[in-house]
Amino acid sequence: MHAFTPSPFLYACRLALSLAAVATLSLGTAMAQPAAAADPDRTVLPEQRARLAFVSPTQLTPLGERRAVFTAVHALSGQELWITDGTAGGTRLLKDILPGFRGAYPSSLTPYRGRIYFAATDGEHGVQLWRTDGTERGTVAVTRLPGAPGSDGALPAELTVFKDALYFVAKEPDGGFQLWKTQGTAQNTVRVAAIAPGSRALVRQLTVVGDRLFFTATTAEHGHELWVSDGSAKGTRLVKDVRAGPEDGGIARLTAVGRQLYFTANDGQHGTELWTSDGTAEGTRLVKDVRAGDAASQPRHLTAMKGVLYFAADDGRHGIELWRSDGTTEGTRLVKDIQHGPRGSLSSPMAVMNGRLYFAATDGESGAELWSSDGTEAGTRRVADIAAGASSATPSRFEVAAGRLWFSAGDAMHGVEPWSTDGTAAGTRRMADVVPGAAHSMPVGFTAVGDAVLFTADDGHGNERLWRIDRAGRLSLLGDPLQQRLR
């Protein structure tokens, strides 16, 4: 069975305990507190009371072209929903959904019909489905799903836009996780289908492929296997019991390429290999036994580009290298043996920009550096040797923003900092030294908002903060400075 994810509510409680242990000095004066923020066992530093002294911004989600919604932690309000237009003046707490320092713990931020939907708790109804239009008044619960008695709510997750509705997984009174959908009101929020009765039901990995919604689900008879839905109860069914009987098929990494689904699975005979499905039992099959026999090639980093699937796999001879597949056995092949021999080369997920793949790899002479490929052996090459020689820059956290590929990388002089590329060596450059010197800022979540790119990075004091780089390359902090670690 797949591991169960701890609930956001329980995680919020753990965060509250850690926040309570952080502050050790006097209260001082600052902005007005939420009603439930005062706690006799808690002391908050004056600098931590500043309006924009938030930390740990995550889930930057565009709301239109010039605003983004995200979650962040403030010493007075806990983890809540925030909004920014890319300027300090336009950055603010959107709504204190659960007043006080424990926070509502918003998660699964997903754009749908001009609003952002998410899961959060108000402290009374457990974790429920919410939406926001970017205003405090317009940040409201969609509905109150019952959840399991005595539990922490319906725990909506896997929010996915399919056809004309938003689909999600929710916990029901019997403890199982079933497939639901909504169009934004309580009246049209309904369960799509009951996959299995009782707490064993577990729906996950919602993936849209054309006019079908694929997902994995658990039943006592078949274990955790591949399912499909057209959005109706009648049209929701098991696709195939890949590993016959109650054992799990280990289905993971569901990826759409055109109207075809690719995924990894283990049928008990071939190890974990690449599979494909058209939504029928007959059309669900092993693509190729890349590592023959019961050994596993462990395909990973499945990425679609120009109607072809690219992935990394280990065939037992070349190590983890770049492969491609058109869905046929003959059309599934190694693109290039970047590092000759069994050691392999690929060390990161892949991103697509302007018809090329980008990833981190080593050829055995230079370290892990930025590479790109057009899907051919001749067109697979190193973009830049960021950390010269055998040292590794270890590019990762790739995002396409403002017409460039942004990523984190490091060298001996500057540590891990924000970089970007246009795909050429000359156009690959470090964008800022957030934490000067060899220390690391570990940037992540590059997102275009207006005329700037926003991201999260360490401020040098152990706090993850929200930063901005404008078109002129100027770096600025979107927040009030903190001189010591908040959490």
- Please spell the DSSP secondary structure of 252-308, one letter per residue: EEEEEETTEEEEEEE-SSS-EEEEEESSSSTT-EEEE-SS-TTS----EEEEEETTE
| 197 band by pLDDT with thresholds 50, 70 and 90 | confident
**Helices first, then strands: H and E counts in the chain:** 1, 36
Q: Reply yes or no on whether the pLDDT at 76 is more than 60.
A: yes
Question: Beta strands 127-132 and 115-121: pairing type?
Answer: antiparallel
Q: Reply yes or no on whether the pLDDT at 13 is more than 50.
A: no
d(CA 438, CA 460): 11
Question: What's the pLDDT score for residue 180?
Answer: 98
Q: Which residues pair with 454 in a beta bridge?
A: 447, 468
> Of residues 50 and 29, which shows the higher confidence score?
50
Q: Reply yes or no on whether the pLDDT at 25 is more than 70.
A: no
The contacts found for 231-239 with CB under 8 angstroms, 24 or more apart, are 231/162, 231/163, 231/165, 231/167, 231/181, 231/192, 232/192, 232/193, 233/192, 233/193, 236/179, 236/192, 236/193, 236/195, 239/214, 239/277, 239/279, 239/280, 239/281, 239/284
Give the model confidence (pLDDT) of 138-149 as tens digits: 999 999 998 766
- Mean pLDDT for all residues in the chain: 90
Question: Beta strands 369-373 and 380-384: pairing type?
Answer: antiparallel
Give the model confidence (pLDDT) of 225-274 as tens digits: 999 999 999 999 999 999 999 999 999 999 999 999 999 999 999 999 99
Give the model confidence (pLDDT) of 328-348 as tens digits: 999 999 999 999 999 999 989
d(CA 213, CA 164): 12
Q: Reply yes or no on whether the pLDDT at 35 is more than 50.
A: no
| 372 band by pLDDT with thresholds 50, 70 and 90 | very high
Q: Of 191, 199, 255, 257, which is closest to residue 226 (Cα–Cα)?
A: 255
Q: Which tokens is 187 given?
A: 């009246």
Percentage of the chain exceeding pLDDT 90: 80
Give the model confidence (pLDDT) of 163-183 as tens digits: 999 999 999 988 899 999 999
At residue 205's C-alpha, the angle toward residues 199 and 208, to 5°, is 130
- CATH numbers and ranges of domains, the chain: 347-447 (2.40.128)
Q: Which residues pair with 401 in a beta bridge?
A: 404
Greatest distance between any 2 Cα atoms in the chain: 71
Q: Reply yes or no on whether the pLDDT at 484 is more than 80.
A: no
Count, residues in the chain: 487
* Tokens 């965060």 -> residue: 15
Q: Reply yes or no on whether the pLDDT at 196 is more than 60.
A: yes
Number of Cβ within a 10 Å radius of residue 280: 10
- Tell me how far CA of residue 243 lies from CA of 153, 238, 274, in angstroms: 33, 13, 14
Report, as an integer, the average pLDDT of 306-317.
97
